[in-house]
Amino acid sequence: MPLLGVNIDHVATLRQARRGLEPDPVFAAYEAELGGADIITVHLREDRRHIQDDDLRRLKEAVRVKLNLEMAATDEMVAIACQMRPEMVTLVPEGRQEITTEGGLDIVGQMESLREKIRRLADTGIVVSVFIGADAFQIEAASVIGAKVCEIHTGPYAEIFYTHGRDEAAPLVARELERVDAAGALINELGMVFNAGHALNYYNVQAIAALPNVRELHIGHAIVSRAVFVGLREAVREMKARIMAAAEPR
C-alpha cells in the first residue's frame, strides 16, 4: 500500500495571511500524524511565501514520521537542507510568479549542476527525490545523476481526469494513467523508488494508488481544503482510507 505524505504548506499560507502565530504548521503536523500520515511534506520556497525557516527547524524537532523537504536546487536551499537534515529532500522546479509548482524538473538540461547538489545532500545522509514528468529521458537522467527516488508529476493526469470524463476508464484518462504506470515501471527498473504527487484529491487518487509499486503519494491542497470542514485529522484519515481501499487486490 502506498504511504501517504501530507503537505502542510497551506496551513502556513493561512497563517501568513495575517503574519500571525496561527494556525501553526507544527500543530498541523501532529494532527496529520494522528490521522495516519506516514510523511510530513513542506516546501521551503525561496520567497518564503508560506513555510518559514523557523517552521522547518521546529518541524524537524517535532515530527515523529519522515520529514520530506521540497525545495529548489539552489546553493542556499542545499545548505539549509544539509544543516536541518530532513530524512528526504525532493528537488522541484520553482518560479517566483507561479501559484504552485507547474511542471517537472528538467534534469536533462542541468545534469552536472544537479549531480553535484545531489552528492552534497547524499553525503549528509539525506535521501534525494526529484519531481519530474512521466518522461523516459528525465527518468534515465535522474538515475545517472544519483537520485534515489523519482516523484512523478500527476498534474497532467488530474487535469485530464477533471476535463475528460472524471472516470479512470475514460480513454484519455486511461492513456495518461498508462504513461504514469510506464514511468513507474522504468523508475523501478533503474533501481529507484517510484513516488507520485500533485493535484491528487479524494476523487482521482484511487487510480494512482492502485498502480503497482508506487511507494508514496504526496498530497496537500486537497487535504487542507477538506480540513476546513472536517478538521485535519479527519481529512487525512479519509484520504488514507481511500488509498488503502484502492490498493487492495481486486
Q: Give catalytic residues, as residue numbers.
A: 43, 70, 198
- Cell numbers standing for residue 101: 509548482
Residues 6 or more apart whose CB falls under 8 angstroms from that of 11 comprise: 23, 24, 25, 28, 224, 232
Q: Return the closest-CA partner of residue 223 out of 214, 235, 231, 213.
A: 235
CB of 235 closer than 8 Å to CB of 7: no
CA distances from 57 to 52, 61, 89 (A): 9, 7, 15
Degrees to nearest 5, angle at CA 145 with 141 and 146: 120
